[in-house]
Structure 1
């Protein structure tokens, strides 16, 4: 399992704890399948930060679309990032946005593996 974790830079503590908990009772093949699924879905916090900063210049709310919050993305798009206040809040909380998204994807990947 440590080999898989080494390939996942900037893991947040909540993610690491969740991965250890979910993979504890998995077989080697299930762990391999889980990590393959999860690494494909996982978003790095820096990606969310970059997309949020692009919201100031290009399209407000793009970070919300990327993390699957389509309703908030449309709201940000139509209101200019809630008059930029929401975009500023997202810049401050980008790690939390990424971690919440990643935890959701982690549990979904675990269900797909059958653990």
Structure 2
């Protein structure tokens, strides 16, 4: 993929750190595999804004939704039971919502890479 056809540019909220990670991860893939990877990854990816919105829901109704959608079920249950650790954990997640999204997206990129390698053989 050349720079003008880079599909990752369609994510308006992608950080340079995430872009670099994805380009490094997909460097060894063929064009067909890169397209498949993009399709799989775009379905799994969470934006920092989504994480922020779900974290704000913790103040209004259900604490820990941001942890459930990022696959951290045990932490989500702890947040749910303790009311977001009495609100302190929810405040910490508000501050760190970008880091939560980046960590989750890196895991999903690795998972998407593994799916791509198994699904699209060259």
**TM over 0.5: same fold?**
yes
Relative to the length of structure 2, the TM-score reads 0.90
Deviations 1:63-103 (A, max 9, x none): 10010000000000000000000000000000000000000
Deviations 1:19-63 (A, max 9, x none): 111111211100000000000000000000000001101100011
Deviates more, 1:8-17 or 1:58-67: 8-17
Counterpart check, 1:39 vs 2:42:
yes
* Structure 2 partner of 1:76: 79
* Structure 2 partner of 1:67: 70
Between the aligned partners of 1:19 and 1:61, the Cα distance in structure 2 is 28
- Provide runs of 4+ in structure 1 moved above 3 Å: none
> Can you give the 5+ residue segments of structure 1 that lack an aligned partner in the other structure?
none
Relative to the length of structure 1, the TM-score reads 0.95
> Can you give the 5+ residue segments of structure 2 that lack an aligned partner in the other structure?
none
Between the aligned partners of 1:43 and 1:13, the Cα distance in structure 2 is 16
